[in-house]
Amino acid sequence: MSVGIFILDDHALMREGLKKIIGLEAEFRVTGEAGSGREALAKLNHCPCDILILDISLPDKGGLEILREVKTMKPGARILFFSVHPEEQYAVRVLDGGADGYLCKNSAAEELVPALKTVLTGKKYLSAAAAQELAARRGKRRAGPAHERLSPREFQILLLLGAGETVSRIARKLNLSVSTANTHRRHILMKLELKTNAALIRYVIEHHLSV
């Protein structure tokens, strides 16, 4: 029986490239694809999915938000994050959030199939370098950058604030009340020991973070 794979990436050419790689493996088949989070969630309601390949940066919903929703909708599905961002920025966070693996897009040609086979067995997939980083950070969690202590939602809002989004726009984008978004902003400022949005933007730039 073939393994159903759903691809969520906002670039059509990237989805086509992934489908070609996956199509070379007899045990895998692409059961669906989407270019946005909302489209994916609608399709996943009636689409078989053993593994979701998930881009961390999407136009409407953040990858971490999609991760939580898919884990609720399809608790047995494996989630493989697929991103242009270096592993040291996001791999630890997404694995702590419940993901099964993290793969950089520039390694897709060589590593996609091994990554899919690894997460299918229930193991986590990371490059050797990222695995060492994960072990080191978990061993001394408090010694890392302050943003690693943010919750997934707070981290998502930090990135949006760092990109210049206002609290009201963030609230609309994430389907939150303005009051809730403001509460998250206050918690972020407190945890990062910052005072203003301008300071948050500087923090995001200095730590090379991006949406």
Range of the domain at 78: 3-139
Phi, psi of 24, deg, nearest 5:
-80, -10
At 142 the pLDDT is: 52
- Structural domain total, the chain: 2
Pair 179, 108 in one domain = no
Residues 6+ apart with CB under 8 A from 206: none
Task: Note the pLDDT tens digit of each residue in 123-176.
Answer: 999 866 666 666 666 555 555 678 888 888 889 899 999 999 999 999 998 988
Domain boundary, last residue among 139, 161, 177: 139
Residue 211 lies in a domain: no
Contact between residue 6 and residue 47 where contact means Cβ atoms under 8 Å apart: yes
Pair 58, 120 in one domain = yes
For the segment 3-22, the average pLDDT, to the nearest whole number, is 95
pLDDT at 86 over 70: no
For the segment 53-81, the average pLDDT, to the nearest whole number, is 89
Pair 15, 81 in one domain = yes
pLDDT at 17 over 90: yes
Helices (H), the chain: 12-23, 37-44, 63-73, 87-96, 108-120, 128-139, 152-162, 167-173, 178-192, 197-206
Task: Note the pLDDT tens digit of each residue in 18-45.
Answer: 999 999 999 999 999 999 999 999 999 8
Tell me which of 95 and 101 has the higher pLDDT. Answer: 101
Task: Note the pLDDT tens digit of each residue in 109-125.
Answer: 888 999 999 999 999 99
Phi, psi of 155, deg, nearest 5:
-65, -40
Residue 60 lies in a domain: yes
pLDDT at 82 over 90: no
User: CATH code at 12?
Assistant: 3.40.50.2300
At 94 the pLDDT is: 83
Confidence band for 16, pLDDT divided at 50, 70 and 90: very high
Contact between residue 130 and residue 97 where contact means Cβ atoms under 8 Å apart: no
Pair 112, 192 in one domain = no
Residue with tokens 């940066």: 57
Pair 28, 115 in one domain = yes
Task: Note the pLDDT tens digit of each residue in 176-199.
Answer: 899 999 999 999 998 898 989 899
Full-model pTM: 0.67
- Nearest 5°: CA angle at 85, between 33 and 81? 40
Q: What is the largest CA-CA distance in the chain?
A: 56
At 165 the pLDDT is: 92
Cα–Cα dist 99/78, whole Å: 7
Pair 101, 50 in one domain = yes
Residue 129 lies in a domain: yes
